[in-house]
Homo-oligomer: A and B are copies of this chain.
């Protein structure tokens, strides 16, 4: 039930990009300094977000990173799935990365207690994170 550092850093980095959205691009060192993130690790994270189509980058002088999409069109659920994988506590209740559990004694039965319980947990988590936009998220920064 844990959020990795990768996702935490990714979310915090996206705050900076959201705050300067359509105003400026940010270089990794600026993001790293403002959010206290190890720069080389941050790079990997930004790259993953780029490959996933959330962020654009430019090399060379005057390079840097920027959001591609509007902050209100990016959800925390998307980001965490990109960086950490599925939100579901167990893969047999994942909607985005379902996998059948084969060694489970309830595998082919109509009801599995674990599935029932964890299914509701999954729904609760994604109900929150898939409706929590980066815009809302970054707004928590301003008044802090």
Interface of A is mostly: helix
| 0 or 1 for each of A70-95: is its CB under 8 Å from B? (1 = yes) | 00000010001000101111100000
Size range of the interface on A? 35 or more
Which residues of chain B come closer than 8 Å to A15, judged between CB atoms? Answer: 113
CB proximity of A110 to chain B, nearest CB, Å? 6
In contact, B3 and A2 (Cβ under 8 angstroms)? no
Q: How far is the CA of A117 from the CA of B141 in the complex (A)?
A: 12
Of the 9-residue stretches A40-48, A50-58, A59-67, A98-106, which lies at the interface with chain B? A98-106
Which residues of chain B come closer than 8 Å to A39, judged between CB atoms? Answer: none
Q: How far is the CA of A118 from the CA of B80 in the complex (A)?
A: 12
Residue A128 interfacial (CB < 8 Å): yes
Residue A143 interfacial (CB < 8 Å): yes
Selected contact of A3 from candidates B109, B113, B118, B137, CB within 8 Å? B118
Q: How far is the CA of A34 from the CA of B76 in the complex (A)?
A: 40
In contact, A144 and B1 (Cβ under 8 angstroms)? no
Selected contact of A2 from candidates B1, B137, B140, CB within 8 Å? B1
| 0 or 1 for each of A125-144: is its CB under 8 Å from B? (1 = yes) | 10111001000011111011
Q: How far is the CA of A141 from the CA of B114 in the complex (A)?
A: 9
In contact, A138 and B125 (Cβ under 8 angstroms)? no
Q: How far is the CA of A144 from the CA of B127 in the complex (A)?
A: 27
In contact, B113 and A8 (Cβ under 8 angstroms)? no
